[in-house]
Structure 1
């Protein structure tokens, strides 16, 4: 067996408890399928409509992206509602609405406070079954999607993905991009779209999935009321051709304007329902999931040929791909590919250890549990079972097969599928490199409060027991960020956090990764503008391991010079990779112009000169300065017994060095101006930045409301710029917030010919708010959205622990969620106008346009 019996039994017991949860499946007379799952862990519900049609079902319009086009159009108006009314109604009830399209399905969903579940059902039924596809909206949305296609063409990862699919598949529709080919999409008419809509969006081709704190009888009644009247319609089958067997290796190598090399090796494999799928999934975990995986250790750590490498088994429908991807310096791309193939041959011959298999099994168990953290995740799991596999209980059969696997099973599928004649290799390379390339009872809602314990040495412990899911999260946070970094050492804090998860004086980085991944857990760093730290997440029985790894990392870091070089190279590669995204490039330039001499001028990942200059001594000095008891907060949320775990947590925190960290102060002087940055891209990005409040400012909550006012599908800015004028694919505001200073900025992606129009629209919207033009219903929408977003953002143990820990680090109330609603509701129209008059002043604006 892959694991010892006690561990296997424990994992089976965890899964069995989830499988026993009540799921109601039934079919309406018109053929519509319904899945209902009550979950009272949070006052939230996820209402999803799965349409069993995607890009592979477009028939004579294959490659046009009609499925994706319809996804955009279904919120543009129905026989009962005007277009904006749909998103406005969702936001008025504190909900979030969105949709996505894949090869084989299109999914529309609303996340909403559960008291408004019936509203979400009504809206989705109306949109999916009774959309009118107004001609004007069809034309405007076509322009928006053309901008989105241009964005994809600007994204090297998207280009590489398309190269993989069009090379690996010769006959299957997977070779066509979901969004469509630009020319084919541009030729589509409203009649094409309407015909596809009428043929595929019929009740007998829909699945409604609802999970949350619902009244089942009331929910059934609402579904019958809103979905039931639509008649069953003749549904013609769509022929999806099978892929012919691949007989020899295939290659496609792109040479383009990129900084680093990206590459992938793919092999054709069978689909999700095939008996070999569990073995292929585990094989991908063993080979390339986590820092202790075989390929990570062999190719990154030992051979130093790549900056990152991972593996995945993608197996939808009847055909899939086993894919190994990596990021490397251009001159190492070919050697890395060769080394990967040699390593795979060695593993296929030698076999896989029982320990590696056991680790992968635990990762699969953990992943299955993690899918159920949120109502949305649970609904997605049920929808996939029904639509993709055809069985909502398929996970039970899947894990039955998975637990029966042996190392020989993985060796067999490796020899069967990862063979030369099934291989496709794709890569994206800098142009200069071209010559070198070749039935459970309802559980009570858990308390959201953390108990705060202050230790004598100044460290703080925050505890929130919650047994509704067998999951446990640790979050250790410290005040940090660029304001604590010496000049010329930007990125030091981020690099410090990374190295804390690697070698210690007791364990090598590989041993650390192997221990946490062996139990299906995670152990990661985080670093931001104002803080840094570590997180660990495990099943409840592995709490001691997680705490031990965290304590070892904090108290006994090794800071090995060789490790510093490896992670420095990886950080530099990530910087180069970020330069391939035009929005990221623009945001970096905006920070430089806006913040000037302030440490926030450079992103937390640093810049090339600083990263090159960082030494082990720098790391040790910053660690000694910041990792002290008075600067430490440890938050723990999940399934644990506080009486047993708290003494262990306190014992760790008491070992931290004594000390406090004085607040770091840096003046901010904004030099206004208008700037232009030229980049070889298809699109233009417009930025406008203004000073904003820090997190302790009295008007910080007003800034949250203002940010919401300018963002979202129902905002006036979005409505004018995208919906009415089709000037941009995206337009919104955002913030960079420090404890004392901040930046409030607007940005939009548009065509190079129309960026001046977008600037004019931004100026008009800013002036509207400055002149008091915000309407009461706009303010109410923002308040409802923010309050609902706070609740939805606290569904997971990790999110709650992160929020509580950072509140403590920043000197805010640990349980500030309690009065969050009151603070948001206290914001008035006059407050918004005063905020705009104070901050959105032309004399302190920094404007940047990035264009071809």
Structure 2
């Protein structure tokens, strides 16, 4: 724990805090890990500060901030940031609103310039406002198609009786439609004052130069009088309350709340410990009891919501609806056990390790650091309270947890929320259940073991964590219609027991040292990945070997895992966009592995046994096919010897030849519609394009980057100019032989024709005239900036290197990527469009209501 303590103390000691004469608080952290920066300007006003008639105005202002200032047009805001390789975004919470820019360090001055202008001098053009209100309403409709969003919005309304957290942050359709320009300006003038804001900068910047720039852009700001808001005292419910949402869904969803604490309260850290012990992992109490022992749930988790105001203790998951009653009983029983008997010292120490480890892992990235500093400064009043939190966690006792559980775990204040196809019982039954209830950069060292396992060791000795990835060729492209889902099952069950440990024992041991080991699978690769503290690496590698070489794949574990695999499919069916993408790929890649469902198939999950997994494991998990990458804080020589000792004797159990997937054929159907009752129609227009090993790969990525993003053509034209949707973008799905280039929009059924027409108008314009030079430049900078941001954590670096090596791109592909991107010419883009984006090669797919069906 000593390394962790020193890391947090060093983190806090490096922060530079200054307050400008106008009251603006500035926090700067000199981030040296990578040449990146995150600039975040937060206002201490969120939806909780709104009156009922103002519901959603904070969120709408957040949207409108990007739509121009007194001196800048919309394209001079996000577009300028993206052109420099960064990205700009914002979010609204109940308690505060943040606007931020992340990207290469060179974006810092422009970020400060633009953030200062957009936040303090927004124009709120009336025409743009009317358009954006339509976009927000589309966002509301999109949220209605997400079961968990619907569940939690209803749950918040029921859990809070008086406090404004009961209202959705996005507001209501009638209130959003009613807002005028003067309403937004009036609200902004009341709260957007310097002394009500915090500017956080985490980046590789020179301090004096930075503060000179901050003074330049933030010293001369409008003077406004801060409005004081008096919040009501929250009483919570006085008796058990049931909310049941009936929806035509395939899965059952549940969520429970109990009163919780504000993050300003001394109890908040203890509730975090309780949530970790109850539902923070596979050795947690709720998971072991409700999932492992009783198999009542498919997934279950717990969390402590500790905002500025009154908080909640939350438990949520998925299950078959017929189990809902028993889930309530067993959950309450686990809460009662803690109140009466407390927790074990092992559970407490494990929870402390998990929670404090999160601070270490989050400090790897500039965005993670800015979020941590911001949340403490905004909610508790000082980033230095990170050390308060650390001390509270470290010194917490079993008696502290018993006291806090007795204070907050009152069944009479329980709010239960279900979402399923049919309501199975009412509030009276809930009350009955409760009343009867129980009483610095270094080149990697690369070598190959005797068994031909390739090993890449890449020390990064600034953060005391280590990321490990072992990747193999595999995944969806090696599946058939009959075996669709086998790699999902393999990756899930791989860590569920070994020759020497049961699944429970393994989870217990790993979580007690703050280590995570998980199987992963994708469309092209699969394998194992691990995140460990440096001090625990030797021990963690022993468990990694145990899981890799000696998995047990017991039949009882297969049966227990099947509901989780079913849940992947059921949740997919409940998400129109996921369903649409899945069905679209079937059409684009007919009778081919590329068209299979990445979540697997019900037919396979129903019939497979662990013998099937043992067979696929023996065939694909072979040292000569693998690449092991270790990145992070470790001593090179000792780890190299450790790896040799652990894995030199690992041998393949078979020499069976593995055939690659065939070349995909051309799509049979160019237009497909699937009718489904949804609030939004999902439209996908796509093409078969060259695969990830083709020379056109980077050009395809540049085209995609130019079309997508907040200043991409799709967003600017179809959303900003035509207000057709909240969500519109393009995306690429890469396979070795082919890729899928897809344009996507989710819109109201009545906007379907306009959306499709809009797609074709954009494509025809690009085919005729190509992309503008500035669009190509912006797209290139976006790709380069995004990669830098992605590769900040040790685990993400190890994954990137291992997968690129397995796929034939080379372990150093990310190091070469910037030059590859910059070498693509305007002519390359034009040739790409002319060759692969022909109308006769386009596949159109629509999921949703057919508004024209009754008018034929």
TM class, shorter-length:
over 0.9
1:80 to 71, 75, 94: 71
Tell me the CA shift for residue 25 of structure 1. 1.1
Verify: 1:53 aligned to 2:45, yes or no: yes
Aligned to 1:467: 461
Partner of 2:489: 495
Residue of structure 2 aligned with 1:510, choices 497, 504, 507: 504
Alignment CA distance shift 1:332-1:630 (3 Å): same
Distance in structure 2 (CA, Å) of the matches to 1:486 and 1:656: 29
Counterparts of residues 176-255 of structure 1 (less than 5 Å)? 176-255=167-246
- Which residues in structure 2 correspond to 1:523-538 (within 5 Å)? 523-538=517-532
Instruction: Return the match for 1:399 from 370, 390, 397.
Output: 390
Partner residue, 1:3: none
1:663, distance to aligned residue in structure 2 (A): 4.8
CA drift of 1:672 comes to 3.4
Provide the rounded CA distance (Å) in 2 between the counterparts of 1:574 and 1:329: 14
Give the alignment's TM-score, normalised by structure 1.
0.96
Q: CA deviation at 1:630?
A: 1.1
Deviation at 1:652? 2.8
Looking at structure 2, the residues matched to 483 and 382 of structure 1 have their Cα atoms a distance apart, in angstroms, of: 43
Distance across 2 between alignment mates of 1:390 and 1:727: 41
Matched with 1:767 is 764
Work out the CA distance in 2 between the residues paired with 1:603 and 1:230: 53
Q: Quick one: structure 1 residues 653 and 694, their matched pair in 2 at CA, closer, same or farther if it must change by over 3 Å? A: farther
Aligned with 1:314 (options 305, 314, 335): 305
Q: CA deviation at 1:654?
A: 2.0
The answer for unaligned runs of 5 or more in structure 2 is: 431-439, 850-856
- Once residues 580 and 357 of structure 1 are traced to their aligned partners in structure 2, the CA distance between those partners, rounded to angstroms, is 37
Give 1:150's aligned residue.
141
Residue 628 of structure 1 contacts residue 660 of structure 1 at CA under 8 Å; is this kept in 2?
Answer: no
- For residues 241-280 of structure 1, the aligned pairs below 5 Å read 241-280=232-271
The answer on 1:18 being equivalent to 2:11 is: yes
Larger CA deviation: 566-575 vs 48-57: 566-575
Which of 476, 479, 482 lines up with 1:485 in the alignment? Answer: 479
Aligned-partner SS, 1:208: strand
Say whether residues 1:38 and 2:35 are aligned partners.
no
Give a deviation string over 1:320-366, Cα, whole Å, max 9, x none.
Answer: 00011121012112221222112322333222100000000001110
CA contact (8 A) 2:70 2:123 kept: yes
Match of 1:5 in 2: none
Partner of 1:28: 20
Instruction: Give the equivalent residue in structure 1 for 2:750.
Output: 753
* Alpha carbons of structure 1 residues 366 and 661: separation in structure 2 relative to 1, 3 Å: farther
Indicate the SS of the match to 2:749: coil
Unaligned runs of 5+ in 1: 1-7, 439-444
CA distance, structure 1, for counterparts of residue 4 and residue 697 of structure 2? 45
Asked if residue 732 in structure 1 is aligned to residue 729 in structure 2, the reply is yes
8 Å CA contact 2:664–2:737 kept in 1: the answer is: no
427-436 vs 804-813, greater mean Cα deviation: 427-436
Displacement of 1:9 in angstroms is: 4.2
Give 1:822 deviation, angstroms.
1.6
The alpha-carbon deviation at position 793 of structure 1 amounts to 1.4
What is the DSSP-based 3-state SS (H/G/I as helix, E as strand, rest coil) of the residue aligned with 1:748? Answer: strand
Equivalent residue, structure 1, for 2:647? 653
Structure 1 residue 706: deviation in Å? 1.2
Report the counterpart of residue 434 of structure 2 in structure 1.
none
Q: Using the TM superposition, give the Cα deviation of residue 560 of structure 1 relative to its aligned residue in structure 2, in angstroms.
A: 0.5
Matched, 1:691 2:688: yes
In 1: Cα distance, 2:732 partner to 2:41 partner = 33
Query: Cα deviation per residue 1:174-208 (whole Å; 9 max; x = unaligned)?
Result: 00000002222222222212211222222222111
- State the secondary structure of the residue aligned to 2:77: helix
Q: Which moved more, 1:351-360 or 1:676-685?
A: 676-685
Partners of 2:656 and 2:797 in 1: CA distance: 25
**Counterpart Cα distance in 2 of 1:661 and 1:629:** 14
Q: Which moved more, 1:517-526 or 1:773-782?
A: 517-526
CA shift digits 1:753-788 (9 cap, x unpaired): 011111111111111222233111111111111111
Mapped to 1, the partners of 2:659 and 2:72 lie a distance apart of 53
Aligned to 1:441: none
Alignment check: 8 A CA contact 1:450 1:804 kept: no
Distance 1:633 1:522 in 2: 19
Question: Which of 560, 584, 589 is the matching residue for 1:566?
Answer: 560
Match of 1:522 among 516, 527, 533: 516
Q: How many residues align?
A: 836
Contact 1:23 1:37 in 2 (8 A): yes
8 Å CA contact retained: 2:245, 2:423: no
How far the C-alpha of 1:433 sits from its partner, in A, is 4.7
RMSD between aligned alpha carbons? 1.6
> Quick one: distance in 1 between partners of 2:779 and 2:5?
44
Paired residues of 2:332 and 2:411 also in contact (CA < 8 A): no
1:172 pairs with 163, 176, 182, which one?
163
Q: Distance in 2 between matches of 1:487 and 1:758?
A: 33
Q: Is this contact kept in 2: 1:450–1:814, CA < 8 A?
A: no
Give the structure-2-normalised TM-score. 0.95
Contact 1:41 1:446 in 2 (8 A): no
With over 3 angstroms needed to count, the CA separation of the structure-2 counterparts of 1:204 and 1:508, relative to structure 1, is: same
SS of residue in 1 equivalent to 2:416: strand
Structure 1 CA distance for aligned equivalents of residues 657 and 309 of structure 2: 58
Query: Which whole-Å CA distance do the structure 2 matches of 1:10 and 1:730 have between them?
Result: 44
Q: Secondary structure at the match of 1:270?
A: coil
Kept in 1, the 8 Å contact 2:81–2:111? The answer is yes
Question: Which is worse superposed, 455-464 or 135-144?
Answer: 455-464
* Bigger mean CA deviation after superposition, 209-218 or 787-796: 787-796
**CA deviation string 1:736-763 (max 9, x = no partner):** 2111121111100111101111111111
Asked whether the 8 Å contact 1:772–1:830 carries over to 2, the reply is no
Give the Cα–Cα distance (whole angstroms) in 2 for the partners of residues 565 and 461 of structure 1: 35
Contact 2:244 2:423 in 1 (8 A): no
Kept after mapping to 2: 8 A contact 1:629/1:660: no
1:108 to 77, 99, 118: 99
